[in-house]
Structures are given as structure tokens and as C-alpha cells.
Amino acid sequence: DQQVKQNSPSLSVQEGRISILNCDYTNSMFDYFLWYKKYPAEGPTFLISISSIKDKNEDGRFTVFLNKSAKHLSLHIVPSQPGDSAVYFCAASAQGAGSYQLTFGKGTKLSVIP
């Protein structure tokens, strides 16, 4: 039973264009969402997070959008750069329920083509 789903295993985008990575969740107790980037042979690197009381959070080239009614979030990267090529993981936790463990999706491999 996968509670966090990233349905696109891979995505290719031209340098300078927008990258949109999507994530769906099923557990209505999730109230805190994060995106991580991972390069091979390294641990995940935190990118950006959003609490369920917000619908948008922005940090430089990265913006996360949350649609609670649809149980959907997305990460926008504008403009995309070749160094953004990595695997991106969506993660969620139910902090309001006292659980701080992160539940991850399977990841989306982003390739930014120069």
C-alpha cells in the first residue's frame, strides 16, 4: 500500500524550461510535505517543504504547490539547469498525529538536456 506515489519514473526537460514533478498521496493525516534531490551514491538533499496550512512555498528557482482536496503536490523548477539532473523524491509526514517519520515516493529521475 503506497501512501505516497510518484507516477512518472522519469522526466526529460530542455535547459532553461520549466520542470514539473508531481506527487500524489492517499493518507489524509499527512500534514507536512518535503522534496528531496538525490545524486547517485549520496544521501537525499533537502530542497523545499510545505505545511498543509499553505498552498504554495517558494525558494529561489523551486516552488512547491499543494492541493489538499486533490491530495496532490508538485515541484516546479524554473529555469531548469543541467545540474538539476538527479532523482527527486516526494516525502510526507503526519506531524499533527505525532508521527515524524517520513514516507517517501519511489522518485522521479529528472534529466535536464543542455
Binding residues (CB under 8 A) for other proteins: these are: 4, 32, 34, 36, 41-46, 49, 89, 91, 95, 99-107
Pick the closer one to other proteins by CB: 84 or 107.
107
Which among 91, 98, 101, 107 has a CA at the least distance from the CA of 33?
91
Residue 112: how many other CB atoms lie within 10 Å = 21
Torsion of CA 22, 9, 3, 60, to 10 degrees: -40
The nearest distance, CB 91 to other proteins, in angstroms, is 7
Pick the closer one to other proteins by CB: 20 or 48.
48
The nearest distance, CB 84 to other proteins, in angstroms, is 18
Task: Characterize 18-57 residue by residue with b for buried, 16 or more Cβ atoms within 10 angstroms of its Cβ, and e for exposed.
Answer: ebbbbbbbeeeebbbbbbbbeeeeeebeebbbbebeeeee
Pick the closer one to other proteins by CB: 17 or 106.
106
The nearest distance, CB 44 to other proteins, in angstroms, is 5
Pick the closer one to other proteins by CB: 2 or 14.
2
